Amino acid sequence: MIDLIRAFDAKLHVFRNDIITRNYKYFPNLKKNINDLDIHGKPVEETVTEEFISVIDSSINEFSARFSQFKELSETLKFIMYPDVTSFDKLNLSQFDWLEIEEFEMQLIDFQSSSTWIQKFIETR
C-alpha cells in the first residue's frame, strides 16, 4: 500500500509540472478548452492554469497530511519485506514499544549475519 501512496503523490507532482510547463499531456481537454477560448479572443490561460495548479497543490498538501505517518514509518514498513537489508538505525520503533524488544538490535544483527536466513528471504521475494 505504501508503494501506491508514493506513486500517487509522484503523479500529483507530474500533473502539476505538466500544467506549469503548459504541455497539457495529461489534460487534453483543458488544452482544447484553452485553445477554444484563445480563438474567441479571451486570454484566460493564466487564470485557468493557476486555478488548476491551486487545486493540485491543495491535493498534494492534503494527501501529504493524511499519509504523513506512512512516510515516517516507511523504513520500518520496508523492514517487513526486506529484514535482511534494513539498517536498525533507520527503523522507527516508537510505535512498537508494546513488543518489549530490548534485544531487537542484537537479534537483528544475528539474523542479518545468517546466510541461511538471508537466502530464505531472497527466495521468498
Is the sign of the CA dihedral 5, 8, 10, 12 positive or negative? negative
Name the residue type at position 7: A
Q: What's the distance, CA 13 to chain centroid?
A: 10
pLDDT tens, position by position, 53-109: 999 999 999 999 988 877 777 777 777 778 777 777 777 777 777 777 777 888 888
How does 59-78 read in b/e, with b if 16+ C-beta sit within 10 Å?
eeeeeeeebeeeeebbebbe
Phi, psi angle pair for 82, to nearest 5°:
-130, 60
Range 44-55 average pLDDT: 89
pLDDT of residue 71: 75
